[in-house]
Amino acid sequence: ETGVTQTPRHLVMGMTNKKSLKCEQHLGHNAMYWYKQSAKKPLELMFVYSLEERVENNSVPSRFSPECPNSSHLFLHLHTLQPEDSALYLCASSQGLRAHNEQFFGPGTRLTVL
Amino acid sequence: QKEVEQNSGPLSVPEGAIASLNCTYSDRGSQSFFWYRQYSGKSPELIMFIYSNGDKEDGRFTAQLNKASQYVSLLIRDSQPSDSATYLCAVNGGLTGGGNKLTFGTGTQLKVEL
């Protein structure tokens, strides 16, 4: 595996389900991110982790719960979602948190909430 | 006021022409500027970044930055049908994008026609 991988690639869930999205980076980076991309909207930053510590929580509802057990893995736990949460969820990683550090994205998970 | 603004397009150019994509940003303290390409149904792919005023060239791509005018552009020379995608402008640093918090525009859709 190379780069940033995400599983599953597609997910359909009901509003009462609990599911998790997984991200793994193989780049030796130490910062990881979750973004949400909805139709006709800019990518929205959700969470930032640096060295497994959350450094940014961008006013995200509590039905989204991130977890970063180590610098290579990032999870997004989902529960009692709403249909408006349907979107493409993208994971990214970077080497450090400086403004010049490029972020590299995974392929995303296309989430549909029924 | 949107923080990062792009014309949504579509911008149509004939094959072999120069495509010019523009982006303006509101935070004068922004430090880093990135261009991502996103094919339909895929994740963003980093193609260029620029930190200093002036031009930066990489193959067929040239990024131009004018911090005084808060303007960044991407030129694609000898446009190919494979360049047809949505191009996302992202800005980092400054007051609203401190550290490595990227603020994205909504993207410009480019169509290169045969």
Using H for helix, E for strand and C for coil, what is the string for A10-68? EEEECCCCEEEEEEEECCCCCEEEEEEECCCCCCEEEEEEECCEEEEECCCCCCEEEEE
Distance CA B98, CA B32 (A): 11
Q: What is the pLDDT of residues B30-55, one digit of tens each?
A: 889 999 999 998 999 999 999 999 99
Residue B1 has pLDDT above 70, yes or no: no
Average pLDDT over residues B72-78: 98
Distance CA A98, CA A78 (A): 29
Q: What is the pLDDT of residue B77?
A: 98
Taking Cα atoms as reference points, which of A21, A20, A22, A24 lies closest to residue A3?
A24
> Using a CB-CB distance cutoff of 8 angstroms, which residues of chain A are in contact with residue B49?
100, 102
Residue A102 has pLDDT above 70, yes or no: yes
The mean of the pLDDT values for chain A is 92
Enumerate residues 95 to 114 of chain A having a beta carbon within 8 A of any beta carbon in chain B.
Answer: 96-108
Enumerate residues 10 to 69 of chain A having a beta carbon within 8 A of any beta carbon in chain B.
Answer: 31, 40-43, 45, 48, 55-56
Q: What is the pLDDT of residues A12-55, one digit of tens each?
A: 999 888 999 999 999 999 999 999 999 888 999 999 998 778 87
